[in-house]
Amino acid sequence: MLNKIMMTGRLTSEPALTTDNGNHYCRFGIEVERPRHYMTDISKSDTFICIAYDRNGEMISNLFSEGETITMVGSLRNAGNNSTEIVVEEVHFSSGGHKNTADAGLLF
């Protein structure tokens, strides 16, 4: 079975690192534009909830801010109450990730 998704979009919330029972994670929203319809010039977007664990969560919370662009690879999972979330497995820099670039070398 295959469960992979790749998205580029803007963070809709400030990512904050949370620790729960020794597990580190970061939860945030991402807004992704749909392709424009060729007959109209109207763009629409979708918003998704994302969660990044451990090192990915630390990196996102340290380097990205609300409104910045992020590209990520992950998988979809049911989050209960008929909702889904994206579990971030890889983070790629698009034009975002400028929050604490001076400290970036210390993290990785």
Q: Map 61-76 to HEC letters.
A: HHHCCCCCEEEEEEEE
- Assess contact for 51 and 34: CB atoms under 8 A: no
Q: What is the pTM of this model?
A: 0.79
pLDDT digits (tens, 9 = 90+) for 41-93: 677 899 999 999 999 999 999 999 999 999 999 999 998 888 899 999 999 87
Q: Tell me the domain boundaries of the chain.
A: 5-35+44-107
Q: What is the pLDDT of residue 80?
A: 83
Please tell me the CATH superfamily of domain 5-35+44-107, with its number: Nucleic acid-binding proteins (2.40.50.140)
End-to-end CA distance of the chain: 32
- Per-residue pLDDT tens digits for 13-24: 999 999 989 889
